[in-house]
């Protein structure tokens, strides 16, 4: 009998049943999709990192070949010092020095495209000896033959490359034999990209001198020396505290003039570049779940309202409270099963296209069954939450007596609740569409870099690859002072300083000194250092060292202690996120590197200007290009996510508005019929209900925009803090927020209202005469 | 048929229908109505009687254009109702017809005065139409006439059935209709309230409004000028009573009752 009742109910209420299944399916699909993508991404990253044996700690160093023994041997004095450091420390399982031949981007062409615009440090390397392997697309170690090169997998789609294409480095040509996955540098957020070549080619190209050598670009093989970057890599035993190892390395005085990277940081960078889209899908699935709960609850209540009389009859016939509830609940259980199946299947269908990039960069995740089960559990969780909400609504049947149900069915409640739901859903959809868009415009805005520890300049000049950094910096600064094209510039020198914490612990602090007010970064607390005795710390440093604004720290300047007060805390992801800024320390110790930020008077001839300064030994980067290259991958995904979210928002708002307007018209059938009987035309009634439906949509849109602007910042804060941006302000693109998004949502919503009220045409004027009177 | 003959026939039909306020010809609706034809003169008070399920209400819906008949034609004055579109029919109902329903059918979220004003406000939208104040004055006058003054601000649940039905009559009269249709107007009222409502309907009729009423009640029908008897969707009897005069009520009622018995009531 229950089966018959459910079947008949479904035939009579096709729309409401279809809508219930739709909401159950969409909610299940989104969470299952997010879980599948998340476990796929993390599984693939872990698998790649395991297979390629990523080092636990990697220190970069640039400069002359300090590791080469005079006469060409492998072990120089620095290498010996490293060897003894590794032997002394029991936690070091393996160590190695990988060489990275930094190429001049303007001399590289991949296929038919030049890399001149790239801000990545592109270079050659050979396969690691003991670990840090570069793997092919099958996650195997490729055997590279002379004349062949394996290009980074992330360049495959970026530069539309295929196997057999030619990579030209000056006059040298190499055939791209395949693509490699570089567990350390796969992410576009990593600033270097490694091309794998044979040892023979590496040596040949190094000898020919087509490299970036202290800024002097030359094709001449007679260049006196070559500058390579060295990746000093350590594999540590399990359970080692990487931070204390890093501190020990920094204190040892071993080569360390470049940034240090740890395995967790590599994992985070890999996850973040592709994880943004997944985070957005998680956010959307939470909001859609709320919308679904709201809508299903209302559909359930509306149906119960309509079936009051039947319920009364069942009660009068002696069917118990739980019996009636069971009839309804079994129906929702059935819907939930169908919704879960549809959602789960759809998640698998959508997974493949969305996972394309993840698969290309990291390979397939092993152990798929775990992800399948987790996604299944997520679907069960979603359906469980929805069924619990339905169960709560069904409890209302228990409070209704048989007589009330039988004889009060005429007094129907007005449709205010439905209009409120329309408004709330419109607000939620606007919020959904707005947040990823604002996140996108925030991350693509030029000032976003200031949340990452990068000054708000136009160009950034890094002076690293020289033995006398201070001298090179001073030469460049002198040239900038005389340069008429330069509007303003700032010189920031970075050096390592010993610091004594309030608890007496001594640490090594990387401090950037100079005038930080010219191109300031964003401070989450306090302000920038303006005089000697003030120091600002990166959020990660402040957190780890337990220091706040106002705390004091003693710096050992040339062996003498000097009191410094923490004046500000800023976000930073550069140099592992552990940095400090001071106005002046007066230290006579040589700089590890320096950075010059520059703003030009005009953008004409910028390229020429940049290459001129490159020849002076600086690595000149256009910050806009840097942002494009570093966050391009993330921004692309975010844009995709925004479009997907917008499509979901349009779908949800259309379905909800159409459905609820149909319900309202159905509920107010008598009113419509009476109006028609009294002489109102169909168009009069449609006009009335069109505005009634559109007004809550417009109010919802306005509310959604306000909430999106006011609270969206906090929601995005969760995403952006993962990128290292601790405190940030939304960069709002008002044209999108006030015009495009509302128009994209309002258009379909207005059509949905029209479709929803189409039923008015079919309501007969005579129906009210047959009914129960008061409407 | 030649063109000239066709035009003459149409002109004759038009002149015939123009003499009558309402003309129904061969009206059909599925299996409920079967070739129903009748006429109604200007100022007439006509009742349609018949047992439950005979098609009385359905006949009313077809005649007023609330429903689409399967066949047949209906004229109101010179206008063929059955030839109009849905919107034209709605406008015709708004301007030339009035309705009184058995169940009153008023909107619960409006007070009595607003319910009465509802169709009038819609009909008077646009330039050159009556202002809201004028409409309110008309409504109050009608309420006074039907003895329900003072109920303007009451909710529909706060008045008696008889008062509510009189409010419905006020609403139906707001646009000064040519004809008033009443579907069992006293069906849900007690005896006293029913006779009050009927008195008002007769008074309106005497003032010039034609009334077509569907009723079960012989006593109510005896107030009418003429009665049609509907059985199984066909008109199978007609009783002409003429205008009711003072003191003839009982006699008319007996006449109706004996006629109904003849008809098999």
* pLDDT higher than 70, residue A214: no
* Residue B233 vs residue A713, higher pLDDT: B233
Shortest distance between the Cα of A627 and any Cα of chain B, in A, equals 60
* pLDDT higher than 80, residue B32: yes
* Residue A23 vs residue A229, higher pLDDT: A23
Q: Which residues make Cβ contacts (< 8 Å) with residue A401, sequence separation at least 6?
A: A315
Res A38: pLDDT: 87
Distances (CA, A) of A299 to A145, A414, A539, A759: 67, 15, 49, 18
Stated pTM of the model: 0.68
Helices in A557-680 by DSSP H: which ranges?
606-614, 623-667, 669-677
Put simply, whether A766 touches B (Cβ < 8 Å) is yes
Determine whether B143 is exposed, middle or buried from the number of CB atoms within 10 Å of its CB (0-12, 13-18, 19+): buried
Q: Which of A676, A681, A774 sits opposite B108 (nearest CB)?
A: A774
Interface test with A, best of B58, B90, B114 (most A CBs within 10 A): B90
* Residue A70 vs residue A184, higher pLDDT: A184
User: Are A536 and A566 within 8 A, CB to CB?
Assistant: yes
User: Are A139 and A181 within 8 A, CB to CB?
Assistant: yes
User: Are A775 and A670 within 8 A, CB to CB?
Assistant: yes
Tell me how far apart the alpha carbons of residues B119 and B167 are, in angstroms, rounded to a whole number: 13
Residues of A with CB below 8 A from B86's CB?
681-682
Put simply, whether A688 touches B (Cβ < 8 Å) is no
For chain B, give the mean pLDDT. Answer: 86
Best CA proximity match to A148, nearest among A114, A112, A173, A121: A173
Distances (CA, A) of B77 to B9, B58, B183: 17, 21, 21
Tell me how far apart the alpha carbons of residues A92 and A88 are, in angstroms, rounded to a whole number: 9
Q: How many CA atoms lie within 13 A of A720 on its CB side?
A: 29
Best CA proximity match to A215, nearest among A473, A590, A494, A456: A473
- Residue A619 DSSP one-character state: E
Mean pLDDT of B104-121: 83
Tell me how far apart the alpha carbons of residues A695 and B55 are, in angstroms, rounded to a whole number: 43
3-state helix/strand/coil string of B73-106: EEEECCEEHHHCCHHHHHHHHHHHEEEECCCCCC
Tell me how far apart the alpha carbons of residues A686 and A664 are, in angstroms, rounded to a whole number: 12
Q: How many residues does the structure list for chain A?
A: 775
Distances (CA, A) of A78 to A71, A690, B114: 15, 79, 97
Res A409: pLDDT: 45
Tell me how far apart the alpha carbons of residues A412 and A303 are, in angstroms, rounded to a whole number: 12
User: Are A545 and A507 within 8 A, CB to CB?
Assistant: yes
Tell me the β-bridge partners of A563: A554
- Cβ–Cβ gap A765/B61 under 8 Å: yes
Strands A506-513 and A523-526: unpaired
Determine whether A408 is exposed, middle or buried from the number of CB atoms within 10 Å of its CB (0-12, 13-18, 19+): middle
Best CA proximity match to A726, nearest among A717, A735, A734: A717
Best CA proximity match to A461, nearest among A351, A339, A363, A595: A595
User: Are A536 and A523 within 8 A, CB to CB?
Assistant: yes
Collapsing DSSP states into helix, strand and coil, what is residue A400? coil
Tell me how far apart the alpha carbons of residues A707 and A435 are, in angstroms, rounded to a whole number: 10
Tell me how far apart the alpha carbons of residues A700 and A694 are, in angstroms, rounded to a whole number: 10
Shortest distance between the Cα of B54 and any Cα of chain A, in A, equals 15
- Cβ–Cβ gap B104/A765 under 8 Å: no
Best CA proximity match to A40, nearest among A288, A375, A379: A375
Q: Which two tokens stand for residue A452?
A: 């990452």
Best CA proximity match to B196, nearest among B218, B177, B223, B176: B223
* pLDDT higher than 90, residue A351: no
Interface test with A, best of B63, B108, B124 (most A CBs within 10 A): B108
Please name the residue of chain A whose CA is at the shortest distance from the CA of residue B121.
A680
> Residue A432 — pLDDT band, cuts 50, 70, 90?
confident
Could you say which residues from 76 to 105 on chain A have a Cβ atom under 8 Å away from some Cβ of chain B? none
What are the φ/ψ torsions at residue A212 (nearest 5 degrees)?
-90, 110
Please name the residue of chain B whose CA is at the shortest distance from the CA of residue A683.
B87
Shortest distance between the Cα of A416 and any Cα of chain B, in A, equals 12
Best CA proximity match to A539, nearest among A718, A724, A717: A724
- Cβ–Cβ gap B90/A764 under 8 Å: no
- Cβ–Cβ gap B91/A773 under 8 Å: no
Residues of chain B whose beta carbon is less than 8 angstroms from a beta carbon of chain A are: 57, 60-61, 64-67, 86-87, 90-95, 97, 99, 101-109, 118-119, 122-123, 156-157, 171, 175, 183, 188
> Residue A226 — pLDDT band, cuts 50, 70, 90?
very low
Residues of chain A with pLDDT > 90, as a percent, come to: 24
Res B212: pLDDT: 96
The region, left, alpha or beta by phi > 0 then psi within -120 to 50, assigned to residue B229 is beta
Mean pLDDT of A123-130: 89
Tell me how far apart the alpha carbons of residues A186 and A267 are, in angstroms, rounded to a whole number: 10
Q: Which of A86-90, A691-695, B249-253 has the highest mean pLDDT?
A: A691-695
* Residue A87 vs residue B106, higher pLDDT: A87
Tell me how far apart the alpha carbons of residues B185 and A491 are, in angstroms, rounded to a whole number: 95
For chain A, give the mean pLDDT. Answer: 82
A·B CB contacts under 8 A: 92
* pLDDT higher than 70, residue A63: no
Q: Which two tokens stand for residue A247?
A: 């501190």
Q: Which residues make Cβ contacts (< 8 Å) with residue A517, sequence separation at least 6?
A: A528, A530
Res A497: pLDDT: 84
Strands B226-231 and B45-49: parallel
Res A736: pLDDT: 87
Spacing of C-alpha A396 from chain mean position: 44
Collapsing DSSP states into helix, strand and coil, what is residue A439? helix
Helices A2-12 and A14-52 pack at an angle, to 10 degrees, of 100
Res A270: pLDDT: 80
Tell me the β-bridge partners of A496: A510
Tell me the β-bridge partners of B210: B179
* Residue A701 vs residue A507, higher pLDDT: A701
User: Are A187 and A633 within 8 A, CB to CB?
Assistant: yes
Q: Which two tokens stand for residue B38?
A: 């009748």
Strands A108-110 and A113-114: antiparallel
- Cβ–Cβ gap B86/A770 under 8 Å: no
**What is the CA angle A609-A611-A614, rounded to 5?**
115
What are the φ/ψ torsions at residue A152 (nearest 5 degrees)?
-60, 140
Shortest distance between the Cα of B202 and any Cα of chain A, in A, equals 22
- Cβ–Cβ gap A769/B171 under 8 Å: no
Best CA proximity match to A678, nearest among B81, B116, B156, B119: B119
Shortest distance between the Cα of A755 and any Cα of chain B, in A, equals 19
Number of C-beta neighbours around residue A47 at 10 A: 18
Res A575: pLDDT: 64
Strands A192-197 and A121-125: parallel
Mean pLDDT of A730-752: 90
> Residue A227 — pLDDT band, cuts 50, 70, 90?
low
Q: Which two tokens stand for residue A642?
A: 């925004």
Q: Which of A679, A684, A772 sits opposite B93 (nearest CB)?
A: A679
Q: How many CA atoms lie within 13 A of B208 on its CB side?
A: 4
* pLDDT higher than 80, residue A225: no
Please name the residue of chain A whose CA is at the shortest distance from the CA of residue B156.
A774
Tell me how far apart the alpha carbons of residues A619 and B198 are, in angstroms, rounded to a whole number: 101
Shortest distance between the Cα of B147 and any Cα of chain A, in A, equals 22
Q: Which of A214-228, A395-409, A498-512, A560-574 has the highest mean pLDDT?
A: A560-574
Residues of A with CB below 8 A from B92's CB?
679
Distances (CA, A) of A439 to A443, A456, A731: 6, 19, 8
Best CA proximity match to A520, nearest among A456, A473, A568, A462: A456
- Cβ–Cβ gap A679/B94 under 8 Å: yes
Tell me the β-bridge partners of A500: A506, A554
Tell me the β-bridge partners of A169: A108, A172
Res A775: pLDDT: 35
Shortest distance between the Cα of A769 and any Cα of chain B, in A, equals 6
Tens-place pLDDT, residues A459-498: 989 887 666 788 889 999 999 999 989 999 999 998 888 8
* pLDDT higher than 70, residue A664: yes
Please name the residue of chain B whose CA is at the shortest distance from the CA of residue A772.
B103
Q: How many CA atoms lie within 13 A of A395 on its CB side?
A: 6
Residues of A with CB below 8 A from B157's CB?
774
Q: Which of A766, A772, A775 sits opposite B66 (nearest CB)?
A: A766
Q: Which two tokens stand for residue A706?
A: 């306000």
Res A689: pLDDT: 95
Tell me how far apart the alpha carbons of residues A182 and A200 are, in angstroms, rounded to a whole number: 21
> Residue A220 — pLDDT band, cuts 50, 70, 90?
very low
Res A65: pLDDT: 58
* pLDDT higher than 90, residue A75: no
Helix (H) or strand (E) holding A169: strand A166-169
* Residue B11 vs residue A61, higher pLDDT: A61
Mean pLDDT of A651-667: 87
* pLDDT higher than 90, residue B22: yes
* pLDDT higher than 80, residue A620: yes
- Cβ–Cβ gap B57/A678 under 8 Å: no
User: Are A566 and A458 within 8 A, CB to CB?
Assistant: no
Tell me how far apart the alpha carbons of residues A710 and A620 are, in angstroms, rounded to a whole number: 38
Whose tokens are 């001298």? That residue is A471
Best CA proximity match to A76, nearest among A254, A243, A323: A254
Helix (H) or strand (E) holding A319: none
* pLDDT higher than 60, residue A772: no
Tell me how far apart the alpha carbons of residues B265 and B53 are, in angstroms, rounded to a whole number: 13
Interface test with B, best of A664, A678, A683, A761 (most B CBs within 10 A): A678
């Amino acid at each position: 009998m229950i089966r018959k009742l459910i079947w008949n109910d479904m035939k009579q209420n096709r729309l409401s049943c279809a809508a219930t299944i739709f909401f159950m399916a969409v909610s299940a699909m989104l969470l299952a999709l997010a879980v599948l993508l998340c476990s796929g991404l993390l599984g693939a990253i872990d698998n790649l990192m395991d297979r390629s044996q990523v080092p636990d700690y990697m220190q970069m160093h640039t400069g002359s070949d300090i590791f080469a023994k005079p006469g060409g041997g492998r072990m120089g004095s620095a290498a010996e010092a490293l060897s003894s450091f590794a032997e002394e420390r029991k936690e070091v399982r393996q160590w190695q020095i990988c060489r990275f031949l930094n190429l001049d981007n303007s001399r590289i062409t991949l296929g038919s495209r030049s890399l001149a615009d790239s801000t990545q440090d592109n270079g050659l390397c050979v396969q690691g000896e003991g670990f840090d392997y570069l793997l092919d697309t099958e996650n195997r170690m490729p055997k590279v033959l002379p004349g062949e090169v394996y290009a980074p997998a992330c360049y495959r789609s970026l530069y539309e490359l295929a196997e057999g294409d030619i990579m030209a480095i000056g006059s040298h040509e190499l055939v791209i034999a395949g693509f490699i996955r570089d567990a350390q540098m796969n992410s576009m957020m990593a600033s270097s990209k490694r091309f794998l070549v044979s040892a023979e080619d590496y040596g040949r190209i190094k000898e020919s001198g087509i490299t970036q050598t202290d800024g002097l670009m030359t094709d001449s093989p007679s260049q006196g020396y070559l500058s390579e970057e060295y990746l000093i890599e350590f594999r540590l035993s399990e359970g080692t505290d990487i931070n204390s190892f890093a501190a020990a390395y920094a204190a040892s005085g071993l080569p360390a003039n470049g940034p240090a990277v740890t395995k967790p940081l590599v994992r985070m960078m890999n996850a973040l570049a592709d994880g943004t889209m997944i985070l957005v899908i998680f956010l959307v699935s939470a909001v859609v779940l709320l919308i679904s709960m709201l809508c299903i609850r209302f559909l359930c209540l509306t149906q119960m309202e309509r079936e009051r009389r039947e319920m009364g009859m069942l009660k009068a016939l002696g069917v118990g409270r739980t019996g009636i509830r069971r009839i309804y609940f079994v129906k929702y259980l059935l819907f939930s099963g169908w919704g879960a199946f549809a959602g789960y299947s759809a998640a698998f269908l959508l997974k493949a296209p969305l996972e394309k990039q993840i698969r290309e960069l990291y390979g397939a995740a092993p152990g798929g069954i775990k992800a399948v089960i987790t996604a299944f559990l997520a679907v069960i969780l979603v359906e469980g939450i929805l069924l619990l909400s339905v169960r709560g609504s069904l409890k209302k049947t228990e409070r209704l007596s048989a007589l009330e149900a039988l004889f009060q069915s005429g007094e129907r409640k007005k449709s205010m609740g439905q209009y409120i739901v329309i408004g709330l859903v419109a607000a939620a959809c606007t919020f959904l569409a707005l947040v990823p868009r604002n996140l996108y415009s925030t991350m693509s805005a030029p000032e976003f870099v200031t949340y990452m520890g990068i000054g708000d300049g136009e160009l950034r000049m890094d002076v690293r690859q020289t033995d006398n950094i201070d001298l090179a910096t001073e030469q460049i600064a002198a040239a900038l002072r005389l340069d008429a094209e330069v509007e303003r510039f700032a010189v920031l020198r970075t050096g390592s300083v010993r610091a004594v914490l309030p608890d007496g612990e001594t640490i090594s602090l990387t401090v950037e000194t100079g005038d930080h007010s010219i191109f300031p970064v964003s401070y989450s607390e306090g302000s920038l250092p303006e005089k000697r005795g003030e120091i600002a710390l990166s959020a990660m440093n402040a957190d780890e060292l337990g220091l706040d604004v106002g705390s004091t720290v003693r710096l050992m300047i040339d062996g003498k202690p000097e009191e410094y007060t923490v004046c500000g805390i800023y976000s930073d992801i550069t140099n592992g996120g552990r940095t400090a800024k001071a106005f002046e320390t007066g230290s006579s110790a040589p700089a590890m590197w320096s950075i010059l930020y520059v703003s030009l008077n005009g953008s004409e001839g910028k390229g020429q200007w940049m290459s001129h300064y490159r020849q002076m030994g600086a690595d000149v980067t256009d910050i806009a290009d840097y942002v494009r290259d570093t966050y391009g991958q993330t921004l692309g995904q975010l844009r995709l996510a925004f479009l997907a979210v917008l499509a979901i928002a349009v779908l949800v708002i259309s379905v909800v508005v159409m459905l609820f307007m149909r319900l309202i018209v159905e509920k107010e059938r008598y009113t419509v019929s009476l109006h028609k009987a009294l002489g109102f035309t169909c168009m009069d009634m449609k006009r009335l209900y069109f505005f009634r439906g559109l007004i809550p949509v417009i109010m919802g849109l306005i509310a959604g925009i306000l909430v999106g602007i006011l609270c969206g910042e906090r929601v995005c804060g969760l995403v952006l803090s993962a990128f290292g941006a601790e405190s940030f302000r939304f960069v709002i693109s008002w044209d999108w927020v006030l015009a495009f998004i509302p128009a994209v949502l309002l258009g379909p919503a207005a059509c949905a209202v029209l479709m929803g009220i189409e039923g008015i045409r079919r309501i007969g004027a005579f129906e009210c005469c047959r009914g129960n009177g008061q409407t | 048929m030649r063109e000239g003959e066709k035009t003459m026939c149409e002109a004759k039909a038009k002149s015939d229908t123009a003499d009558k306020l309402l003309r129904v010809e061969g009206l059909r609706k599925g299996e409920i109505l079967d070739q129903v034809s009748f006429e109604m003169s200007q100022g007439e008070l006509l009742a349609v009687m018949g047992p439950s399920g005979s098609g009385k209400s359905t006949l009313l819906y077809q005649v007023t254009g609330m429903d689409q008949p399967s066949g047949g034609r209906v004229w109101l004055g010179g206008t063929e109702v059955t030839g109009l579109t849905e919107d034209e029919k709605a406008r015709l109902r708004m301007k030339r017809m009035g309705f009184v329903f058995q169940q009153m059918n008023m909107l619960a979220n409006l007070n009595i005065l607003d319910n009465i004003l509802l169709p009038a406000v819609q009909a008077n939208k646009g330039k050159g139409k009556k202002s809201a104040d004028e409409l309110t004055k008309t409504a109050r006058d009608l309420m006074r006439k039907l003895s329900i003054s003072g109920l303007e601000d009451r909710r529909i649940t706060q008045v008696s059935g008889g008062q509510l039905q009189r409010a419905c009559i006020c609403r139906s009269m707001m646009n000064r209709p040519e004809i008033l249709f009443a579907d069992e107007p006293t069906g849900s009222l007690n005896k006293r309230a029913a006779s009050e409502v009927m008195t008002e309907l007769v008074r309106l009729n005497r003032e010039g409004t034609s009334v077509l009423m569907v009723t079960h009640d012989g006593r109510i029908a005896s107030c009418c000028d003429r009665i049609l008897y509907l059985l199984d969707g066909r008109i199978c009897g007609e009783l002409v009573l003429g205008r009711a005069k003072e003191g003839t009520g009982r006699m008319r009622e007996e006449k109706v009752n004996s006629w109904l018995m003849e008809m098999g009531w």
